[in-house]
């Protein structure tokens, strides 16, 4: 799914969530049918992508998963995504628990 690259924030309170995929990293892989990217998807970051981060945007309906690093997963301010990033819905009823 391709959406705006600007104005994203981390969704708080998702640390203990799980899904049928086993991890949010695997959820993103399953949802995109792509290989896990080496780098974090947050614009300006070149750290290794280590986890599937839950993100939200006030101009976009729903919650999404992106490949991110531990540091960017802790950001409290808005951030932009690198171009061409595929977002996967975090809504399990729309994805892995259909």
Could you read off the pLDDT of 36-86 as tens digits, one per residue? 999 999 999 999 999 999 999 999 999 999 999 999 999 999 999 999 999
Q: Does residue 24 form part of some domain?
A: yes
Q: Does residue 96 form part of some domain?
A: no
Q: Does residue 3 form part of some domain?
A: no
pLDDT at 2: 53
Q: Does residue 98 form part of some domain?
A: no
Tell me the pTM: 0.92
Residue 47's nearest CA partner among 13, 72, 19 is 72
Using DSSP, state whether 20 is helix, strand or coil. coil
Domain count for the chain: 1
Q: Does residue 62 form part of some domain?
A: yes
Give residue 67's domain range. Answer: 8-91
Q: Does residue 36 form part of some domain?
A: yes
Q: Does residue 2 form part of some domain?
A: no
* pLDDT single digits (tens) 11-45: 998 888 888 899 999 999 999 999 999 999 999 99
Beta-bridge partner residues of 42: 81
Q: Does residue 67 form part of some domain?
A: yes
DSSP 22-85: SSHHHHHHHHHTSPPPSB-SBTT--SBP-EEEEEEETTEEEEEEEEE-TTGGG--S-B-BPTTP
Q: What is the DSSP letter of 26?
A: H
Examine the pLDDT at 1 and tell me if it is beyond 80: no
């Amino acid at each position: 799914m391709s959406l705006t690259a600007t104005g994203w924030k981390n969704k708080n309170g998702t640390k203990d969530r799980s899904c049928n995929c086993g991890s949010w990293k695997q959820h993103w892989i399953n949802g995109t049918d792509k290989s896990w990217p080496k780098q974090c998807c947050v614009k300006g970051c070149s750290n290794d992508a280590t986890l599937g981060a839950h993100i939200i945007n006030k101009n976009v309906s729903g919650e999404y998963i992106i490949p991110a690093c531990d540091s960017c997963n802790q950001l409290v301010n808005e951030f932009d995504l690198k171009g061409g990033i595929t977002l996967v819905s975090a809504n399990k009823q729309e994805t892995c628990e259909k």
